């Protein structure tokens, strides 16, 4: 059997935007590793896409567990020897919406940063050798417009009063990390960008029995997929929604 032309790994991919990102990348002919904390759920999600004829396989990966990350890296190294696309999609939002920014618990801050920031950095650093082994690798960090400091200072912005601080600040940190990493990777064949998926109807935006949001999940995955598939003339170190560069 011929080796896949491109291999991608998407974290937090058992549902929502991550699952749809896997679907869309696989539909473009990319062999996608669907990563999830729960191996059984990852297997079920991957099987659903494989049943549609898409090149998808499950992989166990908990972004907050160093041993799990190391095992996933070794699995990819042993089977493929490289990674062409890494989409850091895993994330959580656990702020208490009834509390002010200064009232959020330290447990909320630490748990949020463990997944959204430290987990993302740990996964990226662990896979960097395999990304460097690719002739043309891409890293996509899923952030949010809620990470934009300028928009939070803009009274005309629709996010001006949308203060869920641990989540928001974690995404600001993801943006800053992307800039730092892009500087390190300048001149290499690895490009890294951060994206806003849009205000998508997902479980993360669920309040009670209602799913809030303006976009379908398929639309929410589109920016990740676009940046994952950019050619060698594409950007690095940017912050995007679709083709639009966003304010930091």
Please name which of 178, 180, 224, 168 lies closest in space to residue 12, comparing C-alpha atoms: 224
Return the CATH fold of 7-245. Answer: Rossmann fold (3.40.50)
Contact 199, 206 (CB under 8 A): no
The region that residue 145 occupies, defined by phi over 0 for left and psi between -120 and 50 for alpha, beta otherwise, is: alpha
Query: Is the pTM above the cut of 0.85?
Result: yes
Listed by start position, the domains of the chain span 7-245
Beta-carbon contacts of 110 under 8 Å, excluding residues fewer than 6 positions away, are none
Please name which of 138, 202, 204, 203 lies closest in space to residue 171, comparing C-alpha atoms: 204
CA 205-208-210 angle, 5° bins: 60
DSSP code for 79? H
> How do the pLDDT tens digits run along the chain, 248 residues long?
466 899 999 999 999 999 999 999 999 999 999 999 999 999 999 999 999 999 999 999 999 999 999 999 999 999 999 999 999 999 999 999 999 999 999 999 999 999 999 999 999 999 999 999 999 999 999 999 999 999 999 999 999 999 999 999 999 999 999 999 999 999 999 999 999 999 875 555 444 344 455 678 888 999 999 999 999 999 999 999 999 999 99
Contact 137, 84 (CB under 8 A): yes
CA 107 remoteness from chain centre = 23
**CA–CA distance from 41 to each of 34, 61, 244 (Å)?**
10, 11, 34
80 is catalytic: no
- Could you say which of 80, 160, 167, 239 is catalytic? 167
Please name which of 65, 85, 76 lies closest in space to residue 141, comparing C-alpha atoms: 85
Whole-number Å distance between alpha carbons of 130 and 33 = 14
């Amino acid at each position: 059997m011929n080796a896949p032309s491109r291999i991608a790994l998407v974290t937090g991919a058992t549902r929502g935007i991550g699952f749809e990102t896997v679907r869309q990348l696989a539909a473009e002919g990319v062999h996608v590793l669907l990563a999830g904390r729960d191996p059984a759920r990852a297997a079920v999600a991957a099987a659903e896409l494989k049943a549609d004829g898409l090149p998808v396989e499950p992989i166990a990966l908990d972004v907050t567990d160093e041993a799990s990350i190391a095992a996933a890296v070794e699995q990819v190294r042993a089977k493929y020897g490289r990674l062409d696309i890494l989409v850091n999609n895993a994330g959580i939002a656990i702020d208490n919406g009834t509390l002010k920014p200064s009232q959020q618990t330290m447990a909320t801050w630490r748990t949020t940063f463990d997944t959204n920031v430290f987990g993302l950095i740990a996964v990226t650093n662990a896979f960097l050798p395999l990304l460097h082994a690719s002739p043309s690798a891409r890293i996509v960090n899923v952030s949010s417009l809620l990470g934009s400091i300028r928009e939070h200072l803009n009274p005309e912005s629709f996010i001006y009063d949308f203060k869920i601080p641990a989540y928001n600040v974690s995404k600001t940190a993801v943006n800053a990390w992307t800039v730092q990493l892009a500087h390190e990777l300048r001149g290499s064949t690895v490009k890294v960008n951060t994206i806003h998926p849009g205000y998508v109807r997902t479980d993360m935006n669920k309040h009670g029995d209602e799913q809030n949001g303006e976009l379908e999940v398929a639309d929410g995955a589109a920016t990740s997929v676009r940046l994952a598939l950019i050619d060698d003339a594409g950007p690095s170190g940017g912050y995007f929604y679709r083709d639009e560069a966003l304010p930091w």
